[in-house]
Structure 1
Amino acid sequence: MSEDDEIRQEKLEELGELVSNESGLFINDDEKILLRFLYFSNFDVERAFEKMKSWYKLKLNNPDWFASQVFTERQQLAMSRDVHCLLKDKDHLGRRIYILKLGNVVVGECEPWENFQVDDLWLELAMDEEETQKNGLVYIFDMKGLSLKYLRYFTPFNCKVASTKAENIPIRKMEYHVVNSGFLLNSMVTIVFPFLSGSTKQNIHFHKTNWPSLHKFISPDVLPMEYGGKLPPLDYKKLRTYISDRQARLEDIVKYGYRD
């Protein structure tokens, strides 16, 4: 075992011991869960533990906003609208690329927290990957076709919980790209930005339909043609096999957290 492997194992054991002594917190000694928080904190065990407690307390206090079951009827309804997907290929920095086509949301059909539960199905699996833990995650928010009715979801409570959850995801490096934006963008920015930290704001980039601008951050080699990329259009049914093939793992992950 190399020196790096010994240090890694030592940190895993230290964090595992803290978790085992934390009343009510259950992660089943899951090494992948421990690693995601260790990578987030650059293997600072105390900081990793604080982040873990913060994340799972947020889940405890806002259960509707987190998936606790997998492929429920409501989740499948939200998925059927082709809003969420994780691209098959990583970018040149080894980052996973998560796309949200917000214009495909049928306003009034699903609540915001139900779409956040669908996010969990994708992102929990992405965070399981050590390459993602090391390199981070990229979001693309596609606002094409976004209806004015969408603003009904932007209540102070929804914005607060949604932004808190987004900013507490245990991924060290996060980057956000907004494309196909129209007249609603200014309204949404005005509502949402006060809830975001300064570091998050610095990592948000607006491109409209300027694909060369997007490609400065994400290579067209890994993007579908609708974003000026070299790959075929998004095939949501095919992409969803990423989560359907890993259902058993998801069913374990969504049970983790604090128990009353």
Structure 2
Amino acid sequence: MAENMNNDSNNSDDNKKVYNEFRKMIAEAKFSPNMDKILLERYLKVSDNNLVNAFALLKHGLELRQKASYLFFNRDLSVKEIQTAFTTFQFCPLRKLTKEKYKITIIRFPKCDANLYDSVDVIKTALMMFDACYTMYDNGDDLIEGEIFILDVVGFSFKQFLNLSKNVNTFLHYTKFLQEAAPVRLISNHITNTSSIMDGVLGLVKPILRKELQDLVHFHKVGSDTMLKFFEKDVLPIDYGGTNGTIDEHYKEWLKVFETKRDYLLNDDYWKISTDET
């Protein structure tokens, strides 16, 4: 027991040392000095505390944000466009982790008025929600070991697909950011309630989706219970054959948490890169 406590203490000291070095690198690069502590810990976690790799990942993310400022800046969750987006998709990070300490996030497209759906607003809102998640611990005061995403396209219509196709460059930038620059260790992607429309969506993104990520995608047909082969019932919501509440309950709970991050999301200074060469 004493030996384990000593090891934990040593690991904690090492992590603090690496974190402080990371802060120094960020200061020398003239990035924002006010970047969120938990966000930076995530970059270190997914890089196995390799400072060079963590810094490269962070820098790449900041650069991608500049290239699509309409997605990553001027983000007020109280405006009409974002409030409408709340009704056309559901972003649900589940609090209960898998036994491997993986977090499951469900992104669901319920049946809705397709005329209200705007793919740019939905993508911007989803990126805001990811950024909010990155500033919170997942397991007490600890970080998760990996992330699993479930995409439920039960209500995604052909009209919504046409809207997404019209804004394909935005969709590809969103995919590129999550694939190349997010502080995430991806374990798997699950797409459920699939239809022929989803084939079209995958056709849009497949050219830029790395082979190793394509291999992590699992498909589940409408009405099937195949997700139970991958997850414990007490982790999955009732909607997918589990016992962990309903999607609607999780979404309402998440929106309350998300709203507490409004000031953080409004502050564009976190993501600016200095152009001062002196």
* Same fold by TM-score greater than 0.5: yes
- Tell me the amino acid that sits aligned with residue 258 of structure 1: K
Query: 2:11 maps to which residue?
Result: 4
Give 1:206's match in structure 2, choosing from 206, 219, 244: 219
Within 1, Cα distance between the matches of 2:172 and 2:91? 21
TM alignment of 1:2-81, pairs within 5 A: 2-23=9-30, 25-28=31-34, 30-66=36-72, 68-73=74-79, 74-81=81-88
Does the Cα contact within 8 Å between 1:101 and 1:143 map onto a contact in 2?
A: yes
- Tell me the amino acid that sits aligned with residue 147 of structure 1: S
Does the Cα contact within 8 Å between 1:27 and 1:257 map onto a contact in 2?
A: no
What are the Cα deviations for residues 186-233 of structure 1, in whole angstroms up to 9, with x where unaligned?
Answer: 222222211201121111110113654212222221222211111332
Asked whether 1:154 is paired with 2:165, we answer yes
Q: Please report how far the alpha carbon of residue 103 of structure 1 lies from its aligned counterpart in structure 2 after TM superposition.
A: 4.3
TM-score by length of 2: 0.82
Does the Cα contact within 8 Å between 1:87 and 1:98 map onto a contact in 2?
A: yes
Give 1:196's match in structure 2, choosing from 203, 206, 209: 209
How many residues in Structure 1 have an aligned counterpart in Structure 2?
258
- Tell me the amino acid that sits aligned with residue 272 of structure 2: Y
Query: 2:178 maps to which residue?
Result: 166
Does the Cα contact within 8 Å between 1:140 and 1:176 map onto a contact in 2?
A: yes
Secondary structure of the equivalent of 1:141? strand
Gap regions ≥5 residues in structure 1 = none
- Alpha-carbon distance change, 122 to 89 in structure 1, aligned in 2, over 3 angstroms: farther
- Tell me the amino acid that sits aligned with residue 34 of structure 1: L
Gap regions ≥5 residues in structure 2 = 1-5
TM-score by length of 1: 0.87
- Tell me the amino acid that sits aligned with residue 116 of structure 2: E
Query: 1:240 maps to which residue?
Result: 255
Secondary structure of the equivalent of 1:144? coil
- Alpha-carbon distance change, 32 to 120 in structure 1, aligned in 2, over 3 angstroms: same
Seq. identity, %: 19
Secondary structure of the equivalent of 1:80? helix
- RMSD of aligned alpha carbons: 2.5
- Alpha-carbon distance change, 211 to 110 in structure 1, aligned in 2, over 3 angstroms: closer
Query: 1:258 maps to which residue?
Result: 272
Q: Please report how far the alpha carbon of residue 45 of structure 1 lies from its aligned counterpart in structure 2 after TM superposition.
A: 0.1
